Chain A
Amino acid sequence: MSLPNQHTISVMVENRPGVLARVSGLFARRGFNINSLAVSATEDPEISRMTVVTTGDTRELEQIIKQLNKLIDVITIYDHTDENLIEREIALIKVHATVENRSEIMQLTTVFRAEIVNITPSDETMIIEITGDQNRVDAFLETLAKFDVLELVRTGKIALVRGARAT
């Protein structure tokens, strides 16, 4: 589904000050890529989950995981390469919606099962929210590109593996 050499990993870390700096610093220092990063709470208040999307060949990915494992605050790492994932990203898109194109935008929004979450008629803008896997969000953004996109914000990916196994 995703780009070649793109990997999603979940890094389970101690919920402590400085952990994010340790993890992101390691990526920077060793020249590893971070395509996206989402840090969140988990079912256990002492543990945070960092969902990282990174690019690299198998050997690079192996190094990334091994080097991350050396951080004392890293508890476990799940490599989701080739796993059956549920993955989600959210994007909020603010577009300039004129009387002429508003209905087209609304139609596309419906097609993509996105949602219009705000309309400010006075200055002809609306904010659309889309939630989905990377491909869906990408496709929607591509579709909207022909309109006048004023602002765009997008979260990092979060992911869980289907089934009972902890991931």
Chain B
Amino acid sequence: MNGAEALVKALKLEGVDVIFGISGGAALPIYHALGDPENGITHMLVRHEQAAAHMAEGFAKATGRVGVCLATSGPGATNLVTGIADAILDSVPMVAITGQVPTTAIGSDAFQESDIVGVTMPIVKHSFQARNANDIPRLVREAFYIASTGRPGPVLIDVPRDVAQAPVDKFVSPKEVKIRGYNPNTKPDLSELEQAVELIRHAEKPVLYVGGGVVSTEAHKELLALAEKTDIPVTTTLMGRGAIDDGHPLSMNMPGMHGTAYANWAIRDADLLIAVGVRFDDRVTGNLKKFARNAKVIHVEIDPAEVHKNRVAEVSIIADAKDALRELAELCPEKKHDGWRRQIAQWREEQPLFYDKNGELKPQQVIEELSELTDGQALMATDVGQHQMWAAQFYHFRRPRQLLTSGGLGTMGFGLPAALGAKVAFPQQEVWLITGDGSFQMNLQELATSRVYNLPIKIALMNNHSLGMVRQWQTLFYDQRYSGIELPDVPDYVKLADAYGCLGLRVTKPEDVRPALEQARATNDRTVLIEFIHDADEHVYPMIPSGQSVEDMRLQPRKRA
């Protein structure tokens, strides 16, 4: 057995059955080992390493398991960088494996040498460079442990070619991982819990502000138990969408820049903010000084560094959200907040999410109809931009891990590979990608991957012939000087779909939306791409301009009577 074979065996021991990647010189020994049909790991060849990383992310976000991507040294490795950066900001469990030039050549500017450990140091949870083939099983074990525990994140394993080829004397994989500098298991502290219960007991206008941490630990049941018992309305960040069923009367949809008016007003007036698995991101808080200025804060977080980072919390519970919510649901007495609930319902009536149904095709309509047709059950991947916000606002999410989106880094091009990664994990489920013409063109080559590996997904491409989100900012804040945002009418997406063996449809009228969606749903032998052509002047509302506060929220203009 050599290092590469030990690597593959160790991956198998971690339960890995699929890897996304592209090979090359320094990765050849690893590919040789992977190529052995005995090992039971499927390798999916993508068309760009960035997509390999996003596929691993999509797989991980949809399943909660560690996603694995693989690339060769130099350009292969650097192509992974965007995906790794994406994974650290959204706390996605991922192991990225890179080939490296032989140890004897490291530091010599050898062919396809890049110091990927150095390049990625600021964007990984941890990284390893294998220096001895005998260490590989342990490194793999530690990498998976680190990637998947505590606050999840990406871990890099760099494998020099000579190490991959060196003989392994004995395959030893530790049963238990012990890393003295890493202790991710913290249990909720009883006195903090008691203080939290006191605050909850006395709160009159409490709000649960929940996010990615609740999704990643699948604490939706515990959340619901607490919310229902204490009658506290819930707002879910972009990363937390699906933590509560949007049909639940306590759900207030999303907070923040493009959140609902009623969620933002509720936060404004709240006297207690129970923040669970959230990091007070500036897209949510805007101006921190004015965010929830009347509220005390209980912060439930697994990463101590997030507590008091952006907002000082009166009570902090450093624990897994699932444990903390379970305990809180148990300890908190039942309560009713009729007046507060009525107030929120009234705001919601006054200012629901809506759009101007003016007889033209609207992207929001597409999402709304899709939500109805799929009964809110589909896996939804998005790219980044206006379409992403409309998907977050208008799709009726029901469960965690349903929305696969790039929140922290906001990576255009994330969507298609992420959708494919989710389809790999759940071949029987309906997987949709909501994308824009800008984002889609950043990784559209992966249509080939969908074809070759028979991963039929459904793509709703919102074509506004522009980088819509940027255009919106230029309209609102930069004198309508449209600079560098036009995407003229190339390619022909129907032909493009056809060229990749997918079904392409084009829709321009509102009445054709539903039939096209239905046709896509009924087509399961290949990927369907529907191009929805809509006007570039459509804006995402509500909008709290960057760095401002709820007082500055701009609302969807009412239709002129």
Enumerate 13 A-B pairs (CB-CB under 8 Å) in ascending A order.
A13-B181, A14-B181, A18-B117, A22-B121, A25-B121, A26-B122, A66-B304, A70-B303, A70-B305, A71-B126, A72-B125, A72-B146, A75-B180
CB of B308 closer than 8 Å to a CB of A: yes
CB of B522 closer than 8 Å to a CB of A: no
A62-B181 CB under 8 A given contacts A25-B121, A72-B126: no
Task: Kindly list chain A residues whose C-beta atoms are within 8 Å of the C-beta of B312.
Answer: 59
**Which residue, of A17, A25, A70, has the highest number of chain B Cβ atoms within 10 A?**
A70
CB of A69 closer than 8 Å to a CB of B: yes
Beta-carbon nearest neighbor of A72 in chain B: B126
Task: Kindly list chain A residues whose C-beta atoms are within 8 Å of the C-beta of B488.
Answer: none
Taking Cβ atoms with an 8 Å cutoff, the residues of A that contact B are: 13-14, 17-18, 21-22, 25-26, 29, 59, 62-63, 66-67, 69-76
CB of B477 closer than 8 Å to a CB of A: no
Q: Is the CB of A59 within 8 A of B308?
A: yes
Q: Give the docked Cα–Cα distance between A21 and B119 (Å).
A: 11
Task: Kindly list chain A residues whose C-beta atoms are within 8 Å of the C-beta of B118.
Answer: 21
Q: Is the CB of A71 within 8 A of B305?
A: no
Q: Which of B121, B146, B179 contacts A21 (CB 8 A)?
A: B121
User: By DSSP majority rule, is chain A's interface helix, strand, loop, or mixed?
Assistant: helix
Q: Give the docked Cα–Cα distance between A22 and B123 (Å).
A: 11
Q: Give the docked Cα–Cα distance between A21 and B271 (Å).
A: 44
Chain B, interface residues (CB within 8 Å), range: 10 to 19
Taking Cβ atoms with an 8 Å cutoff, the residues of B that contact A are: 117-118, 121-122, 125-126, 129, 146, 179-182, 303-305, 308-309, 312
Q: Is the CB of B304 within 8 A of A69?
A: yes
Q: Which of B117, B181, B303, B304 contacts A75 (CB 8 A)?
A: B181
Q: Is the CB of A73 within 8 A of B181?
A: yes
Taking the closest CB of chain B, its distance from the CB of A133, in whole angstroms, is 30
Taking the closest CB of chain B, its distance from the CB of A58, in whole angstroms, is 10
Q: Give the docked Cα–Cα distance between A72 and B126 (Å).
A: 7
Q: Which of A62, A75, A76 contacts B308 (CB 8 A)?
A: A62
A72-B304 CB under 8 A given contacts A21-B118, A22-B121: no
Taking the closest CB of chain B, its distance from the CB of A67, in whole angstroms, is 5
Beyond contacts A70-B305, A71-B126: 6 other A-B pairs, Cβ-Cβ < 8 A, are A14-B181, A21-B118, A26-B122, A63-B309, A67-B305, A75-B180
Taking the closest CB of chain B, its distance from the CB of A144, in whole angstroms, is 40
**Which residue, of B180, B308, B312, has the highest number of chain A Cβ atoms within 10 A?**
B180
